Amino acid sequence: MNTLPPNEHDEQSEDHFDHERLGIEFVVEDVDFELADAEELTSWIERIAKVHEHEIVHLTYIFCSDEYLHKVNVEYLDHDTYTDVITFDNADDADIIEGDIFISVERIRENAQTHGVTFRDELHRVMIHGVLHLLGYADKDLLSQTAMRKKEDDCLSLRTF
């Protein structure tokens, strides 16, 4: 997990938040995308956090293009690769979630086709993948990747919509 400079996509400074509960927000940058089921997704993500004994203070999902996410990857992580999701943990306390999750809508579409799943299921998997990182789960080696995939499946099974 990495730390992004104070919310560049947000006009307020990090100091302004001061752990004020702002919840979950969804932002779209440079891509034609509309999120379906935002209220249901919010409830589901909050349930996952609660099961893990975490409170969501401020979580922002930024849905973007491949190029936008590639630029973030190069600029902040020094990785010159395309990816589907990048998570930045901005929390100071271990039991809260405060962060930004960038998701390439184009990469989700391609992954869904490649894996033979619906766009909706792949999107939800990647959305919860970012949350799992904020909860402390890693996926750097094969063993942790397998555990992460199982945890994603467990979380997806808790959807009620």
pLDDT digits (tens, 9 = 90+) for 119-156: 999 999 999 999 999 999 999 999 999 999 999 999 99
Residue 124 in marked binding region: no
Beta partners for 23? Answer: 58
Domains, the chain, with CATH or none: 14-156 (3.40.390.30)
- Count of other CB atoms within 10 angstroms of residue 32: 7
Burial class of residue 128 in the structure, from the number of CB atoms within 10 Å of its CB (0-12 exposed, 13-18 middle, 19+ buried) = buried
Residue 58 in marked binding region: no
For 94-112, write each residue's pLDDT tens digit. 999 999 999 999 999 999 9
- pTM for this model (two decimals): 0.87
Sign of the four-CA dihedral 46, 47, 49, 50: positive
